[in-house]
Amino acid sequence: LAGDQAYKAFTEVVADTLAKGTASAVAPSQWVPDGTQWEAPELTAFVNILKANSSVAPIVDVATIIVTTDPAAVGKDADKLLLPKTNSVKLEVVVANIGNVAQKHVTITASLQQPGGLPDIAQNFVDLDPGQRQALRVRGLKAVPGDAILTVTIGPLPGETSVVDNTKTIQLSIHA
């Protein structure tokens, strides 16, 4: 009953204010576009989080959402990202816990493999609450001019049944 009365009072105030002029009745909205929230990786993670949170059964599932390089790609040739001349590739990685169980000390492994050499590998660790996304920086991986394969993997975790979204693999071409 109190809720109904409060809502009735609210609607009366809004109606009176609207009659006097819309500008003072409703605060102006401000659109802050962030197109990355609607791209496939983010949207997929969001839908999976909603699914996991609707279940009472424990769901263990983590994912690598986005991987960006520093220096940034200056172009693309088929499936390869073209990087400018550099001796190291730093990464910004967004990972997510799309399950409904908190995860502690989850391993994120980044590897840069170039022909004829051993891969340069870096590891980070994160704690993730259910539904949480976290961005992290990965130290520079040693790079030489030529083609390379960058792989970033979170987990896999014990009890995780779907690992298809744990790894992102990106082909690079580093300019000489």
Across 57-81, b (16+ Cβ under 10 Å) vs e yields eebbbbbbbbbebeeeeeeeeeebb
Tens digit of each residue's pLDDT (9 = 90 or more) over 115-165: 888 999 999 999 999 989 999 999 999 999 999 999 999 999 999 988 999
d(CA 96, CA 19): 47
Assess whether pLDDT exceeds 60 at residue 15.
yes
Tens digit of each residue's pLDDT (9 = 90 or more) over 51-85: 666 667 888 999 999 999 999 999 999 999 999 99
In sequence order, which residues have a C-beta less than 8 Å from that of residue 94 and are 6 or more positions away? 64, 65, 66, 67, 133, 134, 135
d(CA 145, CA 83): 9
- Residue 166 carries which side chain, given as an amino acid letter? N
Place of tokens 């000489």: 176
Tens digit of each residue's pLDDT (9 = 90 or more) over 84-123: 999 999 999 999 999 999 999 999 999 999 988 899 999 9
Tokens linked to 129 = 């609450």
Judge contact between 96 and 46, C-beta under 8 A: no
Biggest CA pair distance of the chain: 76
Burial, 51: exposed, middle or buried (Cβ in 10 Å; 0-12, 13-18, 19+)?
middle
